[in-house]
Amino acid sequence: MLAKSSINAPFAKSVLAWYDKFGRKHLPWQQNKTLYGVWLSEVMLQQTQVATVIPYFERFIKTFPNITALANASQDEVLHLWTGLGYYARARNLHKAAQKVRDEFNGNFPTNFEQVWALSGVGRSTAGAILSSVLNQPYPILDGNVKRVLARYFAVEGWSGEKKVENRLWALTEQVTPTMRVADFNQAMMDIGAMVCMRTKPKCDLCPLNIDCLAYKNTNWEKFPAKKT
C-alpha cells in the first residue's frame, strides 16, 4: 500500500522538523544516491548497525562500482568481501539478485515496486526504503526501528513479529507516512528509532513525538513492543 498522510499532518510535520535539525544526512549511501547503492546499504543494514556497515559498504562500492560488476563476480569473491559482517545468506541473496538484474533488466535496477520486492533478500520494507529514498516514491517502511517507534506511540500490544501485530503496524506506517518528502520522512523514522526511541534507555525528552506518544504518557515504554513469548 502507498503512503496516505499529508506533509502537514501533525505526526509527519513533527518528524520532518526533527529530521531537518537532527537527522543523519551524511552517510556514504546518501551521497550521490543510486538505486544500486541504496539497495546495497539496505541489505547490509539488515540486523547490523550503521557504524559497522559503513566500511563494508565503501569496500563493496569500490570493488563492485555497479550492479553488473557485482553480478559478474564469483560468489566466493562476494562472500570474501562480506567476511565479518555476518548473516551470510544476505551476501548470497545480494549476488543472486544482482545476476537477476543483469539478466532480466539489462543491468538496470528496477523501479517498479513489485519487481524490486521480487528480488532475493528484499522484503516489503526494503523495497519501499529503496524506492522512496532514491525516487521519492510514496512507499512506507517498517524496519525494527520504525516498529518500535510506532508500537510505543500507538501503544500497540504484542510481539511485532506476530502477523496480526505486524499487519497493524503496517497499517499505521501507511497512515502516518506523507505522500511528499517520503525519503526524508522514512530516514527520519529510522533515525528516531536508532538515536532517540532506543530499545533501552530511550531519550523520550528529546523525541519529537512525545506529546502524543501513549507509552510516554503512561511511562511504560518498556512494554512496547512486547518481547517474543
For residues 149 and 198, give the distance between their C-alpha atoms in angstroms, rounded to a whole number. Answer: 9
Give 160's Cβ-side CA count (13 Å radius): 22
Question: What is the grid cell recorded at 223?
Answer: 512494554
Q: Write out pLDDT tens, residues 127-168.
A: 999 999 999 999 999 999 999 999 999 999 999 989 999 999
Q: Which amino acid is at 70?
A: L
Domains annotated on the chain, with CATH? 10-24+138-223 (1.10.1670.10), 28-135 (1.10.340.30)
Residues taking part in catalysis: 42
- pLDDT at position 229 is 78
Residue ranges in the chain whose pLDDT is less than 50: none
Q: How far is CA 97 from the centre of its chain?
A: 18
pTM above 0.85, yes or no: yes
Rounded to 10 degrees, what is the CA torsion of 116, 122, 123, 128? -50
CA separation for the pair 134, 12 (Å, rounded):
19
Distance CA 186, CA 142 (A): 9
pLDDT given for residue 31 in this prediction: 94
